[in-house]
Structure 1
C-alpha cells in the first residue's frame, strides 16, 4: 500500500489569526457601552489595547478583556452576548486586515485550507471578502465551540489527515490538534498563554512561518 504523502491540512482560527486588528473587539465594547450606559468599558478597552497594557497578560484575548470589564460594571452576560452579536453585523467595516501574503500563499497551496472559528456566521462572508480571503478556504466551520467542538470536527472530518493548526489561543485553537499529534503554530500576543503550551512553532503572524513550513511539507 502506498504511503499518503498529501500535504497537511492547514487549519486556521479567524479572530487574531487571519483577521487582524482591534476593531471588532472595540466595536463589541462600544455596543456594550451604548446599550448599558457604561461608557468606561470601551474607553478602558481602547486604552489598554492601544498601549499593550501589561495587565493584558491576565486575559485570554480582547473579547475576554471586554467581558471582564463588563462584569466589573455588573453588566449581565445576556447583554454582553447581544452586544457581541450586534458587533458582528458590521464586522467587515471594523478595519480588519489579513496577514500580508496569506491569500497568495493559500492560492498556491496544493493541500486543503480550513477555517474553524467560535464566531458565528454573522458577518463572516463580508469580512472574508474585505480580507481578500473569500476563495481561500476549502471548508469553513463557524460557532465551533472550541476546544471540544474542534476535537469533534477533527475526529469526524479529518480522522487520518496530518494537520498544521494556526491560532492565538493555545487551549482553544491548538491544544486539540496537538493532542492528536498534529503540528501547531502559536501566534504571540500580549495576552495570556498557559505555561503548558507547547507549540511546534511560535510566530508573530501566520505568514512569518510559511517559508519554514514549506520545507516541512
Structure 2
C-alpha cells in the first residue's frame, strides 16, 4: 500500500499574505470603497494575536461584514483576488526547499494538493517553484471541511494518509475523523489545542518528520 500526503495550499504550500491583502483590496474595489485600510488593520490584529479568527481571510471577511458588505460582494471580491494569485498584485512564495523535498518522496508516497481555491494561477506557481511534477493530483474548489472527506477516504483505500494544513477545522479535523494522521503548520501551530500528529511553523520544519512518517507507513504496510 502507498501512503498519501494531502497538502493544503494557502499557508502551507503557498506562503505570504499577498493573496489576503489582494482580498482586502478587491473588497474595496467591488463592494466597499475605502475598505482596504480597514481590512488590513483587521489582518494586523489577527497576526498580532489580538483577534480570534480562523485565518487572515476570515479576519478580513469579518471586518467587511461588520462594514455592511453582503455575502455576494465578498464572493465577487474573493474570486477577483484569486484571479491575481501569484502575480505582483498577490505574490506568494514556496516553503524553502519544497521542490527538492517533494522529489525525495517520488515512488515512496503520493502527494496531492487539496484547496478551496479555484485553479487560477496555482499550477503556474507550482511550476515556477519546480514542484508541479511531484504532485499526483490537484484538487481545487474542494469545499473544506466537508469536501476534504472524500479525498481522504479515497486515499485511505490506498494506504496511510497524512493531511497537512494551517486551519485545523478545515485541513485536519475532517481528515483525523476518517483515520488520517495530521500535521499543523502556520501561526497557530504552537498554540492550537488540536492534537496534531506533528506540528511546525512552516512545512519546511516538518520535512524530516514527514519523511520519517513515510518510512514508518511503508514499513507498517509491508508487514
Q: 1:127 to 1:215 in 2, by over 3 A?
A: closer
Report if the CA contact (8 A) 1:38-1:73 is conserved.
Answer: no
Unaligned runs of 5+ in 2: 216-223
Alpha-carbon distance in 1 for matches of 2:58, 2:131: 26
Residue 30 of structure 1: aligned partner: 25
For residues 40 and 135 of structure 2, the distance between their equivalents in structure 1, rounded to whole angstroms, comes to 32
76, 82, 85: which one aligns with 1:82: 76
Change (3 A) 1:73 1:107: same
Contact kept in structure 1, 2:30 and 2:76, CA below 8 Å: no
Q: Is the 8 A contact 1:185 1:201 kept in 2?
A: yes
Structure 2 residue 206 is the aligned partner of structure 1 residue 200: no
Structure 1 consecutive aligned stretches of length 4 or more whose deviation exceeds 3 Å: 47-51
2:112 to 111, 114, 117: 114
Kindly report the root-mean-square deviation, in angstroms, between the aligned alpha carbons of the 2 structures. Answer: 2.2
Q: Deviations over 1:166-210 (max 9, x none)?
A: 10011110112212222111113159x764x11011100112111
Partner of 1:211: 208
Alignment coverage as a number of residue pairs: 209
Tell me how far apart the structure 2 counterparts of residues 65 and 142 of structure 1 sit (CA, whole Å). 23
Q: Is the 8 A contact 2:11 2:186 kept in 1?
A: no
Q: How does 1:64-143 map to 2 (within 5 A)?
A: 64-93=58-87, 94-109=90-105, 110-143=108-141
Could you tell me whether the CA contact under 8 Å between 1:118 and 1:144 is conserved in 2? Answer: yes
Q: CA deviation at 1:107?
A: 1.3
Q: How far is 1:215 from its partner?
A: 2.7
C-alpha contact 1:112 1:138 (8 A) present in aligned 2: yes
**Cα offsets for 1:75-114 (capped at 9, x unmatched):** 1110110111111112111220010011111012131100
Q: Which moved more, 1:95-104 or 1:146-155?
A: 146-155
In structure 1, the gaps of 5 or more residues are none
Contact 1:92 1:130 (8 Å CA) reproduced: no
2:54 and 2:19 map into 1 onto residues whose CA distance is: 16
CA–CA distance in structure 2, aligned partners of residues 173 and 154 of structure 1: 11
Deviates more, 1:12-21 or 1:181-190: 181-190
